[in-house]
């Protein structure tokens, strides 16, 4: 598996390029800035980009969708709940005040249990509402891409439209913590003491996991 991480955009989002070594088929997660550079990496690595996948609909993660699709021709995949919510006029106006224009509608909706396949790779979609109603994580090949659901040593904020701390904690308890302890966590932002972590480490060290999920 090919895994490349690039930190992009004004809010320093982690964009992940995932590709099959054998077939060179790939998908990209949250290409929210520096789209020309990302497209150049894909071209230089001789990758065939199949999908643009959003972990959620917040504009710091979706602001590059239109340009990335224009450059590569790949369709945009997002959970329907966020695709709908983040085109609501009131929500659009709030994020415009932050300097973000709304992303165009997704080309395809993904939901819990769907599988994103590129070449010999397959990543399962895990619906993890809480940070936003349509937040998803992507799990496969010993890695979980968590977007803003789980950070290294923290969890995503829940004070934006559709957010719920209780729902976020339930999502983590139900779907993320049961993953193998060795699973590598690839977060949506580098907010912690290291760029990546593991599920086992987060169970031991993340104060939100320890207190609210494990009750220790």
pLDDT in tens, 80-92: 999 988 778 877 8
Q: What angle do CA 190, 205, 133 make, to 5 degrees?
A: 55
Assess contact for 100 and 60: CB atoms under 8 A: yes
Of 41, 10, 18, 16, the residue nearest 30 (C-alpha): 16
Q: CA–CA separation, 91 vs 38, rounded Å?
A: 28
216 pLDDT band, cuts 50/70/90, is low
184 pLDDT band, cuts 50/70/90, is very high
**Is the model's pLDDT at 74 over the cut of 70?**
yes
Place of tokens 């719920």: 164
15 or 215: whose pLDDT is higher?
Answer: 15
For the four alpha carbons of 42, 43, 46 and 51, in that order, the dihedral sign comes to positive
Which whole number is the average pLDDT over 154-158? 96
What residues make up the domain containing 195?
A: 2-213
The structural domain count of the chain equals: 1
101 pLDDT band, cuts 50/70/90, is confident
What CATH number has the domain bearing residue 159?
A: 3.60.15.10
Please give the model's pTM, rounded to 2 decimal places. 0.95
In terms of DSSP H, where are the helices of 103-148? none
**How do residues 108-134 score in pLDDT, each as one tens digit?**
999 999 999 999 999 999 999 999 999
Q: CA–CA separation, 193 vs 146, rounded Å?
A: 17
Q: What angle do CA 23, 198, 127 make, to 5 degrees?
A: 70
For the four alpha carbons of 48, 148, 76 and 36, in that order, the dihedral sign comes to negative
**How do residues 160-174 score in pLDDT, each as one tens digit?**
889 999 999 999 999
């Amino acid at each position: 598996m090919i895994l490349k991480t690039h930190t992009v955009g004004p809010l320093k989002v982690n964009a992940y390029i995932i590709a099959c070594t054998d077939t060179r088929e790939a998908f990209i997660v949250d290409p929210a800035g520096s789209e020309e550079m990302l497209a150049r990496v894909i071209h230089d690595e001789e990758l065939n980009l199949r999908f643009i996948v959003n972990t959620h609909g917040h504009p710091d993660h979706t602001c590059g969708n239109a340009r990335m699709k224009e450059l590569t021709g790949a369709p945009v995949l997002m959970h329907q709940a966020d695709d709908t919510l983040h085109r609501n006029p009131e929500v659009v106006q709030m994020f415009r005040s932050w300097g973000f224009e709304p992303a165009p509608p997704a080309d395809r909706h993904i939901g819990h249990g769907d599988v994103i396949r590129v070449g010999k790779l397959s990543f399962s979609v895990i619906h993890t509402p809480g940070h936003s109603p349509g937040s998803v994580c992507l799990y496969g090949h010993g890695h979980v891409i968590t977007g803003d659901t789980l950070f290294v040593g923290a969890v995503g904020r829940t004070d934006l439209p559709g957010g719920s701390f209780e729902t976020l904690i339930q999502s983590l308890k139900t779907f993320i913590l049961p993953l193998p302890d060795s699973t590598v966590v690839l977060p949506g932002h580098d907010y912690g003491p290291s760029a990546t972590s593991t599920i086992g480490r987060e169970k031991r060290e993340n104060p939100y996991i320890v207190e609210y999920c494990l009750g220790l």
